[in-house]
Amino acid sequence: MSDTTNIRERAANIRLVIFDIDGVLTDGKLYLAPDGTELKTSSVRDGLGLRLLLDAGIQVAVISGRPSPAYEQRLRKLGVEHIVLSTRVKLPAYEQLLEALDLTDAEVACMGDDAPDVPLMRRAGLALTVADAHTSAQEAADWISRFNGGHGAVREACDLILDARS
């Protein structure tokens, strides 16, 4: 992990924040109904954090390895336009997004929680993770939230970035 001053300086330059869904925006649990339907929880505070980033002119994207129609609908209601689901290898989606938005790695923050997120976290100018992340994500992170995934970690990361700009 980097020192606080370095984190704040890098956070001030962020123009895009990429999030994983399961374990970051959610608590990582899947609730399975008898018919096979999957249910996930979502923090209202985390959703507000995404909206605050967007309102401040910071792009928000989601790159997730699993499909999640209900969560995609929630993200779209919040105003998130850049959503890539069902992609096990996330780096190509990251690179396409940066090219489409004409951004550099230094202008990107990425919040992940497990091994599939680590390549993005290592490329991004600011790597963020949740308190209950897998060791591989914690080792790749510049900053670790005090909160677990789905329980305010995203909001804390959003506040970090927004506060650094003021």
Average pLDDT of adjacent 10-residue blocks, the chain of 166 residues: 80 98 94 88 95 98 93 96 95 97 98 98 98 98 98 98 94
The domain tally of the chain equals: 1
Which residue is associated with the tokens 């994983």? 20
- Its pTM stands at 0.95
Per-residue tokens: 160: 């970090």
* Domain CATH number, residue 118: 3.40.50.1000
The sign of the CA dihedral 114, 124, 64, 43 is positive
Contact 33, 149 (CB under 8 A): no
Range of the domain at 55: 4-164
